[in-house]
Amino acid sequence: MSALLDIRDLRAGYGQVEVLRGVDLHVDAGEIVVLLGSNGAGKSTLNNTICGLCKPWGGTVLFDGQDLSGRHYRQVVQAGLIQVPEGRRVFPNLSVRENLELGSFARARQRRAANLEKVLAIFPRLRERLAQLAGTMSGGEQQMLAIGRGLMAEPRLLILDEPSLGLSPLLVEDLFSLIGRLHDDGLAILLVEQNVGQSLETGQRAYVLENGAVRYSGACPDLLASDDVRRAYLGM
């Protein structure tokens, strides 16, 4: 069976600086794949290149057999490849409802009302705050909103970029529980995280980026047991 997302020899950068140096990565349907790496390893550049925000220098991005390499980000969204960006990036001067509805601007617009109800069932707190300006919400609530906005587009693959960043330990536990429930519902997820321990306990497979290339890859339990990974990323 072919992969849902299949990245082959992907290269990209900014100006004359090459950031991605031949990345190979795949995500199967219904799978959680974890992408790890320190700051500057190339994780954000990889996300942006997959999602059409950064033009690739070479290689291919295949999504369900369709070549999305270098396509406009709107075409990427229309295909069902949705990113929840690092830092939430909600629209602070718009209401919670307006933020959620914008998630279906390019995809699943006809099912907006039904999908809104699904999102509010997942995040009851957002229902209580539909009229509230997004910028006045707490960090945890804004993360709920960012994920809910992504779900409004009926993603076939959801990229979560550093979703636990800035959250309290209790909210981090809630977040990883949510990721597990989304996976149980059949959603494929590419989880980009610096919370190494919980990410490897949540996913099925993982890749570790180092200097723009894949340094390690394999089943999450194997990487969690790897002495090299434990020393480099868990301080053990």
Tell me which residue range forms the domain holding 207. 5-80+156-233
Write phi, then psi, for 133 (nearest 5 degrees): -65, 135
Q: What confidence tens digit (pLDDT) does each residue in 200-231 have?
A: 999 999 999 999 999 999 999 999 888 887 77
pTM: 0.91
Number of domains in the chain: 2
Q: What confidence tens digit (pLDDT) does each residue in 58-76 have?
A: 999 999 999 999 898 889 9
Tell the residue number behind the tokens 């519902």, with chain if given: 185
Helices (H) and strands (E) in the chain, counts: 10, 10
Same domain, 28 and 137: no
Q: 151 lies in a domain? A: no
Same domain, 229 and 161: yes
Which pLDDT score, from 0 to 100, does residue 234 have? 63
Q: What confidence tens digit (pLDDT) does each residue in 88-147 have?
A: 789 899 999 999 999 998 888 888 999 999 999 999 999 999 999 999 998 889 988 999
User: What are the C-alpha distances in Å from 229 to residues 39, 178, 200, 225?
Assistant: 16, 26, 11, 8
Tell me how far apart the alpha carbons of residues 196 and 5 are, in angstroms, rounded to a whole number: 22
Same domain, 19 and 73: yes
User: With contact defined as beta carbons under 8 Å apart, do 89 and 41 qualify?
Assistant: no
Q: 150 lies in a domain? A: no
Q: At what angle do helices 139-151 and 112-122 cross, to 10 degrees?
A: 140
